[in-house]
Chains A and B, each alone.
Chain A
């Protein structure tokens, strides 16, 4: 591990950081579970629901390593990180529920949401594709003289098998971009186990091949470790040390999507330390270190439930997209839209 030698935060700051992170994780978990439940209740959610259960710690730690003005490209299991980065819970809920008022206005759904002009990239389904997009944004920032910004891309171990991943890692290394690539190895790409995904011992070893710095977080359910390592890597990137590859292991505590019962996950893995739920691990740590009381945790959970229910009720009342009101124009330059008029459409 080549972790950045960031000084550990002082006790009050550390407490604040852990509790802030925990509350984002909690909101991420509860909203994810609500979306899953709405999906199973039928008729409320279009398309699939892909939740980040078990990955909240690393997701939130990545987002919290970013400042306002940085660039973030989350992936499908980053509900918690998206909220921590600054996405409104209502916008997330609107996208799932197809509200016309959401950022995607019904044109795209669930996890494919974002506000690119605000540094919050909207993922496409093709894995590895968003790394070079963040690189390009960082190239543009550099060209404009903004050297303070960094970018972070979230990826699973499956995404590291794509050509796009390799092209983009190599490109980022050449350009020495302040880029974090956080690979969360959650043991399964849909149903494919890691043994059929890669043959190297540790994906972080690939960093050396690209000529960049690599970091390993042994247990991605350890919030403090995630905050420390990803925060340190972010500082390295900000200080001009180029791209940082961070790899951690967790267990996806859900199916690939809510249609998938994930019966292929063996009990031994579920009962391992890697398989532990980061929410429970974090709650135990908070109580053990006396950072908060059980009553605090209970209160925060109740608040998060209320927030989520309010967002769902609001989004549900909002209008759906109206096919007759859509301009059906894919171009920002409408006069260049091809007029398939008359007989041809």
Chain B
């Protein structure tokens, strides 16, 4: 049996719906159609009345989820693409994220963002929004990179009493497979050493973990051992695991698929510079997408975002410094 990253997301939702009557799913085309990516396939039939098609109204989708959460429900909102979440941005960052702090009323909603690029998706179906949401207090931002995390973190997201932005990577939906669903899970807030190494640390998350692992495989053939840290959630960000890794290797490269201004890679470098300056053998480096909208054509897209090849180039530069 083989389980894809997408299967894991569907199975996690099926389990959440089965085990908790407070859970419902609301999003465009999630009902009988099963979702634009089939992340809710068959769920509307299995759980009648609890997997609901929404109008193209992201603001109202999130607003109603907040109201339902106040009344004790645990809604899961599927944004058809992460890119469209900007239409619901106000409700997410100003209403959901502030509710608990202002009123001590819990707001347990999960907003699933099919994130990141795939070849041919273009500027409005490819964005990585995680840093935008991470900057707001009151939100948890998950960025699972594995089938196991997609499953266990989504289940955990439903249980968390705060709004969770669940950034699931579209490229991994079908590309990533595991033998079975996990039976145990790491808690959110802990990063994972995806590969141990001694020469440099690459900190990344989501689909870039796999590009980094491919790079590490290639460099290992040259005798260089790169440690790859998978952040798993970018908020909270596990600074301790990152610092411990940098203490072992003395070199840091932070890689992200999002744009270069600010964001997760800047945050990682800032924390290491502030808290771990004396662990560094050389200036840390960042590698991000290019500073343009995400291009449509696969040739351009493949160059726009970091890949195993460009990460390897950056690591070689880091080791020369």
**Taking the complex as a whole, does A directly touch B, i.e. does some CB pair lie under 8 Å apart?**
yes
Residues of A participating in the B interface, judged by any CB pair closer than 8 Å: 71, 103-104, 107-108, 112, 114-117, 121-122, 124-126, 129-141, 143-144, 163-164, 167-168, 170-171, 174, 329-333, 335-339, 341-344
Chain B interface (Cβ within 8 Å of chain A)?
A: 24, 49, 54-55, 57-73, 75, 87, 90-91, 94-95, 97-103, 105-107, 137-138, 140, 160-162, 188-189, 235-237, 239, 270-271, 274-275
> Closest chain B residue to A137 by CB distance?
B67
26 A-B pairs within 8 Å (CB atoms) are namely A107-B102, A108-B102, A116-B105, A117-B105, A121-B67, A122-B99, A133-B63, A135-B60, A138-B67, A139-B64, A139-B68, A139-B73, A140-B67, A143-B24, A144-B72, A163-B87, A167-B58, A167-B63, A168-B64, A170-B55, A170-B60, A171-B55, A332-B100, A336-B140, A342-B274, A344-B270
Known contacts being A164-B60, A331-B162, A332-B161, is A137 close to B70, with CB within 8 Å?
Answer: yes
User: Contacts A140-B73, A331-B162, A344-B275 hold; do A103 and B103 have CB atoms under 8 A apart?
Assistant: yes
8 closest A-B pairs by beta carbon, nearest first, are A136-B67, A132-B63, A343-B274, A136-B64, A140-B71, A167-B57, A137-B67, A167-B60
Please measure, in the bound complex, the distance between the C-alpha atom of A341 and the C-alpha atom of B270, giving whole angstroms.
Answer: 12
Tell whether, in the assembled complex, residue A116 and residue B162 are in contact, meaning their CB atoms are under 8 Å apart.
no
Shortest CB-to-CB span from A164 to chain B, Å, is 5
In this complex, the member of A112, A126, A133, A341 whose beta carbon has the largest number of chain B beta carbons within 10 angstroms is: A133
Question: Contact check: which of A121, A129, A174 meets B90 at CB < 8 Å?
Answer: A129
B236 touches A337 (CB 8 A): yes
Chain A residues within 8 Å of B105, by CB: 116-117
Give the residues in chain B near A130, CB-CB below 8 Å.
Answer: 63
Tell me how far the C-beta of A261 lies from the nearest C-beta in chain B, rounded to whole angstroms: 29
Is A117 a contact partner of B60 (Cβ separation < 8 A)? no
Q: What residues on A are CB-neighbors of B239 within 8 Å? A: 339, 341, 344
A132-B91, A167-B58, A331-B140 known; 14 new pairs, CB 8 Å cut-off, are: A103-B103, A126-B94, A129-B91, A136-B73, A137-B70, A141-B71, A143-B24, A163-B87, A164-B63, A168-B63, A333-B161, A336-B188, A336-B189, A338-B236
Q: A116-B70, A174-B55, A338-B236 are in contact. Are A164 and B100 (CB under 8 A)?
A: no
Which residues of A have CB within 8 Å of B61? 132, 171
Instruction: Give Cα A125 to B91, complex, Å.
Output: 11
A107 to B138, alpha carbons, bound, how many Å? 14
Q: Chain A's nearest CB lies how many Å from the CB of B187?
A: 8
Find chain A residues with CB under 8 A from B58 CB: 167
Evaluate whether A124 and B95 lie within 8 angstroms (CB atoms) in the complex, with A137-B71, A143-B24 already known: yes
Contact B71 A144 (CB under 8 A): yes
Given B68, B100, B275, which contacts A137 in the complex, CB threshold below 8 Å? Answer: B68
Contact B66–A133 (Cβ < 8 Å)? yes
Docked-complex contact B57 and A170, CB < 8 angstroms: yes
CB <8 Å contact, A133 and B188: no
Complex: A178 Cα to B271 Cα, angstroms? 50
Residues in B whose Cβ lies below 8 Å from that of A71: 67
Picked from B70, B75, B97, B161, the residue with its CB within 8 Å of the CB of A117 is B70
Residue on B nearest A134 in the bound complex, by CB: B67
Shortest Cβ distance from residue A85 to the other chain B in the assembled complex, whole angstroms: 16
Least Cβ distance of B250 to chain A in Å?
Answer: 18
**Nearest chain B CB to A97's CB is how many angstroms away?**
17
Residues from chain B with Cβ under 8 Å of A335 in the complex: 189
A218–B250 Cα gap in the complex (Å)? 74
Taken together as a complex, chains A and B put the C-alpha atoms of A222 and B105 apart, in Å, by: 37
- Contact with A136, one of B55, B63, B106, B236 (Cβ below 8 angstroms): B63
- A137 → B minimal CB distance (Å): 4
B237: chain A residues at CB < 8 Å are 338
Asked, given contacts A133-B67, A137-B71, A342-B274, whether A330 binds B137 with beta carbons under 8 Å apart, the answer is yes
Q: Which residue of A lies closest to B240 (CB)?
A: A339
User: With a CB–CB cut-off of 8 A, which chain A residues contact B102?
Assistant: 104, 107-108, 112, 122
Question: Can you name the residue of chain B whose Cβ is closest to the Cβ of A327?
Answer: B101
List of B residues within 8 angstroms of A338 by Cβ: 235-237
A157-B75 Cα distance, complex, nearest whole Å: 31
Report the separation of the CA atoms of residues A31 and B316 in the bound assembly, to the nearest whole angstrom: 70
Chain A residues, Cβ within 8 Å of B189:
335-336
In the complex, the answer to whether B69 meets A136 with C-beta atoms within 8 Å is yes
User: With a CB–CB cut-off of 8 A, which chain A residues contact B63?
Assistant: 129-133, 135-136, 164, 167-168
Partner of A336, one of B67, B75, B162, B271: B162
